[in-house]
Amino acid sequence: MPESRVYPALLSGGWDDLPFAPFREGIEICRLAAGPPEVALLRYASGARAPRHRHAGLEIVQVLAGSQSDERGDYPAGSVVMNPEGSEHSVWSREGCVALLSWSRPVEFLQEG
pLDDT tens digits for range 49-105? 999 999 999 999 999 999 999 999 999 999 999 999 999 999 999 999 999 999 999
Domain CATH code at residue 60? 2.60.120.10
Cα 45–Cα 17–Cα 7 angle in degrees, nearest 5 = 105
The answer to whether residue 104 is domain-embedded is yes
The tens digit of pLDDT for each residue in 9-30 reads 988 999 999 999 999 999 999 9
The answer to whether 99 touches 42, Cβ cutoff 8 Å, is yes
Q: What's the confidence (pLDDT) of residue 97? A: 98
Length of the chain measured in residues: 113
Question: Which domain range does residue 60 map to?
Answer: 41-113
- Whether 10 maps to a domain, the answer reads no
Q: Is residue 102 part of a domain?
A: yes
The structure's pTM equals: 0.92
Q: How many domains does the chain have?
A: 1
39: pLDDT strictly greater than 90:
yes
